[in-house]
């Protein structure tokens, strides 16, 4: 019998040399007259151990990592195809503490399944949610989502059930389901990993959403920086056959505009225009893509849907704390020792995530600041690390969980420089529609430059400018850029001296 | 195939697609390497848009180029997660190293490789993580030797 070997085809694994490792393993097997079945799975999310090679043995899947080309010969010598001992052997994958301590729901098949195989997807529980949804009335599907407590995972955390009900109730001959896969926040990669590692899960979630709201067409808008995700989705669509029933999905490629992650700018872009935000109302749920009622969610939100339908709303709602129900796949990034994907129920503290999972800084120096929720998220000092990971608890300290991206910085960071970067990024990416964002961001860079040059009187001006941006901007780009700026200023004033 | 023939084929393939402008521009850039200015009026006519609308879209999005790139395009991530692990020093090294080179250097704001930065992308699909100036030089040497 041929031994099955998994070598991830995930972009992070590829960036760490997975293709060369896969080739070396196949060449090593051929040289020894061994026939192998090689599967390019997604990542398990333990990025620091990529490329993580897994071998299927009678005792289950055994992991080795991080594997480099020069150790492949040693792995063969150690008989890794039978799960043999080797310094890189991590044991049965499912029992690796970093994974075993997680509660994976939306990422349950990530790294497990062959992302190109619908058969494998179905064999591992995929399709059950859609099967159940087909036997339900649309209103009952909407109710299940509302009962689950699911909130939009893209950053705004708006209750999904309300959106679904609004689109369901809108009368129109054509409605759309749009997946926002414009995951532009630095420190986030859960959407990318899911699209590359379990694309059928997203497609199934969209098809269920289509049944619920009465839409037979869907679009996935993927950023151009994610070519591997686009390829994985297209391969899955080509292999989907009639799995999605009459639901038609088209993958669209973005073109390098951060603000297109804002839902109305994304719709403009899908329609073939500059990605400039629309005024709300009307809400996309009423007048969205091509003027039709549109359900728009990010990848993780839609990919959470099959699990909710298959396992029941109550099972999902029972996880989490307060009004933050279910799980969030957090992403540990930046200067962190054990970076990657950590899916846990809401309620852990930031400190537990940073140290129990993350293992502290990669550099070995003390962690000084952590930015949570992307370029528009607050910088938190060590004193706030005990905040529970909960939407409301973060809002209470003037921060947000956003898309669950956590970027760690050690004590070499210059927080005035990070504040300047926040303004600079806003200036680069502003769509230009409103003045506070378009002009304010450039003035913000100048003011911070003067502060850094020693003019402390400019701090009042910076605070005033931030106030104008918060109050006067049309969307989150301009109104939230002050969050990283002011949190850096307030928590780390010594860097602005 | 000359640019006109490519353009005609692409426009024909997308003639019934709603909101076709971005897919059309992507295909032109993939086939030609950039979006030649003389294609703008043809695209505009085919999609029933004004030339200003087409030009506006091309110039709005960072991804679209109006002139050819160098032999290779190297993008260095300049976003926060890569900054936290030496991304700025790497970007500075790349700028110095590639001044006057035939390789086009561009900043990119996140490649989704945030747990293994600093990250670099070469020619859209080739990715490199945990980059250092020394590894960057080795990468360039490989690119330059390919010719």
Residue B103 sits in a domain whose CATH number is 3.40.30.10
As given in the structure block, the two tokens for residue A362 are: 């990669």
> Closest Cα partner for A20 from B70, B142, B112, B108?
B142
Residue of chain B whose Cα is closest to the Cα of A364? B85
Q: Could you tell me how far CA A342 lies from the centroid of its own chain?
A: 11
Query: Do the interacting molecules here have an ipTM over 0.90?
Result: yes
As given in the structure block, the two tokens for residue B102 are: 């035939």
As given in the structure block, the two tokens for residue A442 are: 């450039």
Interface membership of B60 toward A (CB under 8 Å): yes
Looking at the 3D structure of chain A, how many domains does it have?
4
> Does residue A113 sit within a domain?
no
Domain shared by B80 and B137, yes or no: yes
B118 DSSP 8-state letter? S
> Closest Cα partner for A141 from A109, A104, A174, A167?
A167
- Residue burial A379-401, b: 16+ Cβ < 10 Å; e: rest: bbbbebbebbbbbebbeeeebbb
> Does residue A198 sit within a domain?
yes
> Closest Cα partner for A324 from A447, A203, A153?
A153
pLDDT, one tens digit per residue, over A405-424 is 999 999 999 999 999 999 99
Amino acid B1: pLDDT: 64
B23–chain A nearest CA distance, Å: 7
Domain shared by B51 and B98, yes or no: no
CATH number, residue A340: 3.10.20.600
pLDDT, one tens digit per residue, over B95-114 is 999 998 999 999 999 999 99
Cα→Cα distances B72→A210, B25, B33, Å: 42, 20, 11
Tokens 């051929």 -> residue: A30
Task: Tell me the helices (H) and strands (E) count for chain A, helix number first.
Answer: 21, 16
Amino acid A57: pLDDT: 97
Q: Could you tell me how far CA A405 lies from the centroid of its own chain?
A: 7
Tokens 């909407």 -> residue: A142
B79 lies in which domain range?
72-146
**Residues contacting A111, CB < 8 A, separation 6+:** A6, A8, A10, A41, A42, A43, A44, A45, A52, A197
Looking at the 3D structure of chain B, how many domains does it have?
2
Domain shared by B82 and B136, yes or no: yes
| Phi, then psi, of A93 in degrees rounded to 5 | -55, -45
Among A12, A183, A272, select the one facing B113 at the smallest CB separation: A12
A61 lies in which domain range?
3-100
Q: How far apart are CA A403 and CA A412, in angstroms?
A: 26
| Phi, then psi, of A243 in degrees rounded to 5 | -55, -35
Q: Which of B80, B127, B136 is the best substitution to test chain A (most A C-beta atoms within 10 A)? A: B80
Which residues of chain B are under the pLDDT cut of 70? 1, 147
> Does residue A277 sit within a domain?
yes
A324–chain B nearest CA distance, Å: 25
B26–chain A nearest CA distance, Å: 8
Q: A275, B20: Cβ pair inside 8 Å? A: no
Domain shared by A135 and A233, yes or no: yes
CATH number, residue A440: 1.20.1440.230
pLDDT in tens, chain A (497 residues): 799 999 999 999 999 999 999 999 999 999 999 999 999 999 999 999 999 999 999 999 999 999 999 999 999 999 999 999 999 999 999 999 999 999 999 999 999 999 999 999 999 999 999 999 999 999 999 999 999 999 999 999 999 999 999 999 999 999 999 999 999 999 999 999 999 999 999 999 999 999 999 999 999 999 999 999 999 999 999 999 999 999 999 999 999 999 999 999 999 999 999 999 999 999 999 999 999 999 999 999 999 999 999 999 999 999 999 999 999 999 999 999 999 999 999 999 999 999 999 999 999 999 999 999 999 999 999 999 999 999 999 999 999 999 999 999 999 999 999 999 999 999 999 999 999 999 999 999 999 999 999 999 999 999 999 999 999 999 999 999 999 999 999 999 999 98
A278 DSSP 8-state letter? P
Q: What value does the mean pLDDT of chain A take? A: 97
Amino acid B2: pLDDT: 86
Which residues of chain A have a CB within 8 Å of the CB of B116?
12, 15-16, 47-48, 50, 339
User: Beta-carbon neighbour count of residue B54 at 10 Å?
Assistant: 24
Q: How far apart are CA A188 and CA A246, in angstroms?
A: 32
């Amino acid at each position: 019998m041929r031994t099955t070997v998994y070598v991830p085809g995930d972009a992070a694994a590829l960036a760490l040399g997975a293709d060369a490792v896969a080739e070396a393993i196949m060449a090593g097997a051929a040289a020894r007259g061994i026939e192998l079945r090689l599967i390019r799975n997604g990542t398990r999310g333990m990025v620091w151990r990529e490329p993580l090679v897994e071998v299927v043995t009678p005792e289950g899947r055994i992991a080795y990592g991080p594997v480099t080309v020069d150790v492949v010969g040693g792995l063969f010598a150690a008989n890794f195809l039978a799960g043999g001992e080797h310094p890189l052997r991590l044991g049965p994958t499912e029992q690796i503490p970093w994974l075993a301590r997680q509660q994976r729901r939306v990422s349950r098949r990530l790294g497990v399944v062959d992302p190109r195989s619908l058969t494998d997807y179905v064999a591992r529980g995929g399709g059950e949610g859609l099967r159940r949804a087909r036997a339900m009335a649309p209103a009952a599907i909407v109710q299940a989502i509302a009962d689950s407590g699911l909130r939009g995972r893209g950053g705004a955390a708006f209750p999904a059930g309300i959106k679904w009900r609004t689109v369901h109730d809108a009368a129109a001959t054509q409605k759309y389901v749009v997946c926002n896969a414009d995951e532009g926040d630095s420190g986030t990669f859960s959407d990318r990993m899911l699209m590359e590692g379990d694309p059928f899960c997203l497609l199934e979630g969209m098809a269920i959403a289509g049944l619920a709201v009465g839409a037979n067409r869907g679009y996935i808008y993927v950023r151009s920086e994610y070519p591997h995700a686009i390829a994985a989705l297209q391969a899955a669509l080509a292999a989907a056959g009639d799995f999605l029933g009459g639901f038609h999905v088209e993958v669209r490629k973005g073109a390098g505009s951060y603000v297109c992650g804002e839902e109305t700018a994304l719709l403009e872009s899908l329609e073939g225009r500059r990605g400039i935000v629309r005024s709300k109302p009307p809400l996309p749920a009423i007048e969205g893509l091509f003027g039709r009622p549109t359900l728009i969610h990010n990848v993780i939100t839609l990919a959470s849907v099959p699990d909710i339908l298959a396992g029941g709303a109550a099972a999902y709602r029972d996880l989490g704390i307060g009004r933050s129900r279910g799980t969030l796949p957090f992403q540990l990034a930046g200067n962190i020792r054990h970076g990657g994907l950590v899916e846990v129920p809401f309620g852990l503290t930031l400190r537990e995530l940073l140290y129990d999972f993350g293992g502290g800084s990669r550099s070995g120096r003390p962690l000084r600041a952590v930015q949570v929720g992307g370029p528009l998220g607050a910088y938190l000092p060590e004193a706030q690390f005990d905040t529970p990971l909960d939407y409301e608890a973060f809002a209470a300290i003037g921060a947000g969980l956003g898309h669950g991206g956590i970027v760690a910085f050690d004590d070499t960071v210059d927080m005035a420089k990070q504040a300047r970067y926040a303004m600079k990024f806003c200036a680069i990416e502003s769509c230009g529609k409103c003045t506070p964002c378009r002009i304010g961001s450039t003035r913000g860079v100048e003011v911070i430059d003067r502060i850094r040059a020693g003019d402390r009187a400019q701090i009042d001006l910076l605070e005033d400018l931030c106030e104008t941006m918060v109050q006067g901007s049309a969307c989150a780009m301009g109104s939230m850029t002050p969050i990283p700026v002011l949190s850096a200023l307030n928590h780390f004033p010594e860097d602005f001296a | 195939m000359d640019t006109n023939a490519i353009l005609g084929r692409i426009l024909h393939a997308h003639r019934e697609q709603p909101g076709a402008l971005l897919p059309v521009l992507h295909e032109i850039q993939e086939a030609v390497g950039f979006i030649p200015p003389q294609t703008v009026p043809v695209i505009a006519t085919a999609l029933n848009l004004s030339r200003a609308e087409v030009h506006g879209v091309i110039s709005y999005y960072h991804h679209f180029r109006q002139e050819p790139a160098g032999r290779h395009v190297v993008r260095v991530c300049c976003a926060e997660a890569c900054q936290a692990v030496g991304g700025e020093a790497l970007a500075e090294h790349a700028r110095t190293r590639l001044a006057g080179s035939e390789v086009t250097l561009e900043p990119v704001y996140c490649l989704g490789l945030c747990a293994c930065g600093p990250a670099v992308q070469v020619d859209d699909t080739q990715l490199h993580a945990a980059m250092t100036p020394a590894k960057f030089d080795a990468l360039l040497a490989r690119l330059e030797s390919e010719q």
